[in-house]
C-alpha cells in the first residue's frame, strides 16, 4: 500500500470530517479531510474564516470548489490545493479553505422597453445560492473584521468561485431571504490572486 493510500485510509477515513463538493454538474461525495485553525489566532476574523486542510492524495477537490461540511452545514471556498510530495510521489494534498458568510443571489442588469417605449432596468437572477465571502477590502494582505453593512463608507471585497462567472456591474444580494434591500455592485475584478476563486471589489448599489 502506498503512503498516500495509507494516509487516506488510516488517517483521513478514521479521523477526517465528511464533506460534499457542490458542483453544477452534480455533487461529489465520499471524501474526508482534516483541518486546523489558521495560526494567526490573534485575528478573530482569520481564526473564524480561514482553515488549513489536508486532503487525500487522489481528492477530486480543485481550487474554486464550494464544499459543505456534512456534520454542521458550513460552506467553504477552496482557495487553493497544493500537492505534498515524498520521493516525487504525491502522498496528500493541502488546501486553504475560506468559510463563506453570504449565500446570496447574483443578478445581471438588463434593460426592457415597455409599450410606451420607456426603458426600465431590471435585475434578473443569473445564479441563486451563490456562496461567497464578503469582507472589508484587503489591506496589507490581512483581512480585518468589519461590519459589511456600512458599504457606503468604504470598499469591500467579495470572494466568489470563478465558475459563477460574475461580471462588472452585476448586482449581488447578500441576504435575499430577508428582502432588506441591501445590494452591492461589482466594480472591479481581480482574477489572479487565487486559483479558481475571484476577488471582486464591490460598493453599495443604489440603482
Residues 50 and 141 grouped into a single domain: no
CATH of the domain at 32: 2.40.10
User: And the C-alpha cell for 94?
Assistant: 493541502
Residues 74 and 116 grouped into a single domain: no
Report the domain count for the chain: 2
Among the three residues 43, 67, 99, which one is the final residue of a domain in this structure? Answer: 99
pTM, to two decimals: 0.86
Q: Could you read off the pLDDT of 43-84 as tens digits, one per residue?
A: 677 777 889 999 999 999 999 999 999 999 999 999 999 999
Are 131 and 85 a contacting pair, CB within 8 Å? no
Residues 148 and 164 grouped into a single domain: yes
Q: Could you read off the pLDDT of 111-151 as tens digits, one per residue?
A: 887 777 788 889 999 999 999 999 886 544 444 444 434 44
Q: Name the nearest CA neighbour of 164 among 61, 27, 60, 66.
A: 66
Residues 34 and 84 grouped into a single domain: yes
Are 57 and 38 a contacting pair, CB within 8 Å? no
User: And the C-alpha cell for 181?
Assistant: 434591500
- What is the span of the domain harbouring residue 53? 3-99
Helices (H) and strands (E) in the chain, counts: 3, 14
Among the three residues 52, 84, 99, which one is the final residue of a domain in this structure? Answer: 99
More confident residue, 191 or 199: 199
Are 49 and 29 a contacting pair, CB within 8 Å? no
Dihedral sign for Cα atoms in the order 181, 149, 159, 203: positive
Residues 106 and 150 grouped into a single domain: yes
Among the three residues 99, 128, 160, which one is the final residue of a domain in this structure? Answer: 99
Containing H/E element for 5?
A: helix 3-6
Amino acid at each position: 500500500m502506498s503512503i498516500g493510500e495509507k494516509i487516506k485510509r488510516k488517517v483521513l477515513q478514521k479521523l477526517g470530517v465528511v464533506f460534499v463538493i457542490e458542483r453544477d454538474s452534480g455533487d461529489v461525495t465520499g471524501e474526508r479531510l482534516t483541518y486546523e485553525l489558521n495560526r494567526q489566532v490573534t485575528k478573530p476574523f482569520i481564526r473564524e474564516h480561514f482553515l488549513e486542510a489536508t486532503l487525500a492524495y487522489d481528492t477530486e477537490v480543485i481550487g474554486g470548489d464550494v464544499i459543505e461540511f456534512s456534520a454542521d452545514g458550513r460552506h467553504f471556498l477552496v482557495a487553493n490545493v497544493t500537492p505534498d510530495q515524498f520521493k516525487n510521489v504525491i502522498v496528500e494534498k493541502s488546501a486553504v479553505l475560506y468559510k463563506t458568510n453570504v449565500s446570496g443571489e447574483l443578478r445581471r442588469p438588463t434593460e426592457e422597453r415597455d409599450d410606451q417605449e420607456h426603458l426600465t432596468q431590471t435585475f434578473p437572477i443569473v445564479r441563486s445560492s451563490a456562496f461567497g465571502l464578503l469582507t472589508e477590502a484587503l489591506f496589507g494582505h490581512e483581512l480585518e473584521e468589519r461590519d459589511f453593512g456600512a458599504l457606503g463608507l468604504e470598499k469591500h471585497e467579495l470572494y466568489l468561485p470563478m465558475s459563477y462567472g460574475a461580471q462588472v456591474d452585476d448586482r449581488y444580494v447578500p441576504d435575499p431571504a430577508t428582502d432588506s434591500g441591501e445590494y452591492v455592485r461589482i466594480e472591479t475584478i481581480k482574477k489572479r490572486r487565487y486559483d479558481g476563486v475571484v476577488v471582486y471589489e464591490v460598493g453599495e448599489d443604489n440603482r
